[in-house]
Amino acid sequence: MVEERKGLVFDIQGYSVHDGPGCRSLVFLSGCPLSCDWCANPEGQELKQRVLYRVSKCKYHERNCRRCISACPYEAIAESGDAEQPVNIDRNICRDCKTYDCTKACIYEALNLSGKWMTVDELMAVIERDRKFWGDGGGVTFTGGEPLLQKDFLLEALKRCKASFIHTSIETSGFASTETFMEVINLLDFAFVDLKHMDPDKHMEHTGVRNELILSNIKTLAASDWPGLLVIRIPVIEGFNDSDENIRATAEFLKECDLEIVNILPFHRLGDSKYKQLGMKYKYSESEGTPEDVLLHIQEIFLKYDIACFIGSNTPF
């Protein structure tokens, strides 16, 4: 029997009004070739399930619980001696775990797995269930992680959406082979493509990859006859990409590509608690949200280039 293809989905959110036209379901696919310092979804960075430890739910003290410690066959969990965080997880050992027995043993839901392996049928059942709540003009947005990393699963899901007349969108870093990028795009109605920095070295320094492939994919898409709407998204990160020089270089590149819409996103620290649950350090844990005057200044620069610049969720799409 041929096994059905599965994709690792780390979240499905039913009611987004910020990620494409109308009310939408967001499907978060795990795995990303980038490692942006400010990433808000660290649990989706790897194409692998990870253990999230929510200390607030742990009953080590109240119920004298030690269930995870005895359940782990690899001795990766131990008492920490720290009252604030009673158990320590050795993440290097967990990396090769196949059983995740600790999460099954934790009856208080303090230990959970990020993501679930799903078949396209299972995913479509959730999408079809949510569909009645979208109203007119909604649809599905695939995001992540980097959705292009699970290309085959994504293509199958997009074909199924198309066959069911579901409007589809993507949020992507654009970091994939041009063949993969265009193959996926051609099945979509709408695309948000990130443009994080124009300088390849700075891009490399803070995202882990250079930007030449991304720029070339944006150029290819802009020059193609794809009938959908392309919106360039820029997460505004203080001290990284918010300089006038970088914004002007971005605007010039967009003009070169004949692109006229950009959506700038203020930095937020919503991912902070997930870094703690994963036992990871968050480089931006002390950073504040992007001040409004910085966003307005960036908007003004784009407007000088005749590029419509929408801030955050304040968009017509």
**What is the contact surface with ligand SF4 in residues (CB under 6 A)?**
51, 58-60, 65-68, 72, 74, 76-77, 87, 89, 93-94, 97, 99-102, 105-106, 108, 110-111
Q: Which is nearer to ligand SF4, 58 or 166 (CB)?
A: 58
Q: Which is nearer to ligand SF4, 59 or 160 (CB)?
A: 59
Least distance between ligand SF4 and beta carbon 30 (Å): 16
Q: Which is nearer to ligand SF4, 112 or 290 (CB)?
A: 112
Least distance between ligand SF4 and beta carbon 277 (Å): 11
Q: Which is nearer to ligand SF4, 52 or 124 (CB)?
A: 52
Least distance between ligand SF4 and beta carbon 91 (Å): 8
Neighbours of 227 (CB within 10 A): 7
Q: Which is nearer to ligand SF4, 13 or 88 (CB)?
A: 88
Least distance between ligand SF4 and beta carbon 84 (Å): 13
Least distance between ligand SF4 and beta carbon 10 (Å): 16
Q: Which is nearer to ligand SF4, 103 or 263 (CB)?
A: 103
Q: Which is nearer to ligand SF4, 79 or 252 (CB)?
A: 79
Least distance between ligand SF4 and beta carbon 45 (Å): 17
Least distance between ligand SF4 and beta carbon 61 (Å): 9
User: Which tokens hold the place of 293?
Assistant: 């005057």
Q: Which DSSP string corresponds to the chain? A: -PPPPEEEEEEEEEEESSSSSSSEEEEEE---S---TT-S-GGGSSSS--EEE-GGG--TTTS---HHHHH-TT--EEE-S-TTS-EEE-HHHHTT-SS-HHHHH-TTS-EEES-EEEEHHHHHHHHHHHHTTT-TT-EEEEEES-GGGGHHHHHHHHHHHHHTT--EEEEE---S-HHHHHHHHTT-SEEEEE---S-HHHHHHHHSS-SHHHHHHHHHHHHS---SEEEEEEEE-TTTT-SHHHHHHHHHHHHHTT--EEEEEE---TTHHHHHHTT---TTTTPPPPPHHHHHHHHHHHHHTT-EEEETT----
